[in-house]
Amino acid sequence: MTAGTALHFARQGVEFAGVVLIAPFSDLPSLLMRYAPGGVLPLLRPLEWIRGLKEIFPNWIHHPWHTATRLSEFVTISKSGRLFIIHALDDREIPYIHSDVIFTKCVEALEPGLDVEGVEKLKGEGTVEMEGGERISTWKKGGKTVQEIVVGFGGHNRVMTFAPVALAVMKAFGMDEGELAVEANA
C-alpha cells in the first residue's frame, strides 16, 4: 500500500518528507512462494516441486504488488527521494531478504548502468555492520537517500515499536541534524 501511494503522488509532483517501510515484501509472488505463517509451515512450497508451476503461478495472481519496482520508480522521480527500509532478522512472516531486494532495486534505478554486483560493492562501502548480522546500509546522491536498517530482533510486528523506526521518521523530516535544537534556541 505504501509503495503504491508514494508512487501515485510522486507521479503527480507531490513531494513527501520521506517514506518509511517496515518489514516490506519485494513482490507478492515471491512472498507467497515462501510464505509460512509464523515461520512454521510453508503453504505453497510444494508448488515448487511441480515442473513449470512455479513459473506460471505469478500469472494467477490478480495484482502482484511489485513493491520493489514501484519504490525504484518513486525514488527516481521524487526530487527529495528519502526512503527508509527497516526489517528484523528474525521476521518469520516476511524474510528480511525482501528488504535487500528493494534496496538493491532502488539503488540500481538511481545508478544507471550499475548491475547487482556494482550495487553490492556500493552497499558494502556504505554499510555499517554490527554484531549479530545487524546493519545499516546507506546510499546518498543528489539529495536522495535510500537506507536499509536491519535489526537483530523484533519479528514482524514488534520491530515497529523500536527506536530505528522513530529515528527514520526523524531523518525523513531532517530532524536528525540538530535543526530542532537550533530552532528552539533561536
Q: Are residues 45 and 100 in the same domain?
A: no
Q: Name the average pLDDT for the chain.
A: 82
Band of the pLDDT at 183, cuts 50, 70, 90? very low
Q: Are residues 79 and 101 in the same domain?
A: yes
CA dihedral 127, 93, 18, 2 (to 10 degrees): 150
Q: Are residues 137 and 181 in the same domain?
A: yes
Q: Are residues 104 and 148 in the same domain?
A: yes
Spell out the SS3 assignment of 111-137: CCCCCHHHHHHHHHHCEEECHHHCEEE
CA dihedral 30, 118, 19, 153 (to 10 degrees): 60
Q: Find all residues with CB under 8 Å of 43, minimum gap 6, and list them.
A: 35, 36, 37
Q: Are residues 35 and 91 in the same domain?
A: no
Integer Cα distance of 57 and 183 in angstroms: 55
pLDDT of residue 88: 93
pLDDT of residue 62: 63
**Could you report the per-residue pLDDT of 99-146, keeping only the tens digit for each?**
999 999 999 998 888 777 877 777 778 888 888 889 999 998 888 999
| Percent of the chain scoring above 70 in pLDDT | 81
Q: Are residues 77 and 120 in the same domain?
A: yes
Q: Are residues 85 and 36 in the same domain?
A: no
Q: Are residues 70 and 57 in the same domain?
A: no
Please give the C-alpha separations between residue 50 and each of 28, 30, 106, 159, in angstroms, as whole numbers: 20, 16, 33, 36
Q: Are residues 131 and 170 in the same domain?
A: yes
**Could you report the per-residue pLDDT of 44-81, keeping only the tens digit for each?**
677 777 777 666 666 666 666 788 999 999 999 998 88
pLDDT of residue 185: 43
Query: What is the number of domains present in the chain?
Result: 2
Q: Residue 36: give the domain boundaries.
A: 28-64
pLDDT over 90 (residue 34): no
Q: Are residues 20 and 87 in the same domain?
A: yes
Crossing angle, helix 116-125 and helix 97-110, to 10 degrees?
100
Picking from 37, 64, 91, the residue at the C-terminal end of a domain is 64
